[in-house]
């Protein structure tokens, strides 16, 4: 699929983001060897491909967990203790934002803004948004995901 996408776009350097999307959809994440392959085929420096892949939050360089928790860190959420929610989740599951638990069950992500300021603080648990989230409630919701 990745090669097909690049070919369809004539191996143009401007095809980078679409090619990265295709690679992530195909493999689940962007492995280092995949980034090198894309760089060679599009005749781009590896640093540029890696830079684009790490700049945009929707690209992943590691496999995603079975479940995902996204904590909004936008201004409205931050002033209502989103940083404490994130810290509580990090401590409880022994991972940092952007990481996945060793058993592959939970990925924890921080987002700049999820666009639901009136529900601050908000987190998204496997595509289910929970607003006006309490610190202890944040862990309970994550535990509930893991029990399914």
* Helix (H/G/I), strand (E/B), else coil: 67: strand
Are 102 and 46 found together in one domain? no
Mean pLDDT of 122-139: 96
CA pair distance 83, 6, nearest whole angstrom: 40
60 neighbors 99 (Cβ within 8 angstroms): no
148 annotated to bind ligand: no
Please report, for the domain that includes residue 110, its CATH number: 3.40.30.10
Are 42 and 91 found together in one domain? no
End position of a domain, from candidates 11, 32, 55 = 55
Identify the residue whose tokens are 């509930």. Answer: 144
Residue 26 CB neighbours (<10 A): 11
The number of residues making up the chain comes to 148
Are 93 and 125 found together in one domain? yes
- Full residue range of the structural domain in which residue 31 is found: 2-55
pLDDT at 58: 79
H helices present in the chain, as ranges:
2-8, 16-27, 32-42, 46-55, 75-78, 82-93, 135-147
pTM (2 decimals)? 0.72
Are 78 and 130 found together in one domain? yes
81 neighbors 132 (Cβ within 8 angstroms): no
Are 44 and 82 found together in one domain? no
77 annotated to bind ligand: yes
113 annotated to bind ligand: yes
Structural domain count, the chain: 2
Are 79 and 138 found together in one domain? yes
Mean pLDDT of 27-46: 96
117 annotated to bind ligand: yes
pLDDT at 55: 86
pLDDT digits (tens, 9 = 90+) for 77-117: 999 999 999 999 999 999 999 899 999 999 999 998 899 99
* Helix (H/G/I), strand (E/B), else coil: 100: strand
């Amino acid at each position: 699929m990745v090669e097909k996408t690049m070919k369809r776009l004539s191996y143009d350097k401007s095809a980078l983001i679409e090619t990265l999307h295709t690679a992530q959809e195909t493999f689940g994440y962007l492995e280092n060897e995949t980034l090198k392959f894309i760089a060679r085929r599009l005749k781009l420096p590896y640093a540029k491909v890696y830079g684009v892949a790490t700049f945009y939050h929707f690209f992943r360089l590691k496999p995603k967990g079975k479940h995902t928790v996204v904590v909004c860190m936008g201004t409205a959420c931050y002033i209502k203790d989103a940083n404490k929610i994130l810290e509580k989740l990090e401590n409880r599951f022994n991972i940092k934002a952007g990481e996945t638990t060793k058993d592959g069950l939970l990925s924890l992500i921080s987002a700049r803004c999820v666009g639901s300021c009136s529900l601050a603080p908000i987190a998204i648990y496997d595509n289910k948004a929970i607003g006006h989230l309490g610190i202890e409630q944040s862990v309970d919701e994550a535990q509930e995901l893991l029990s399914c």
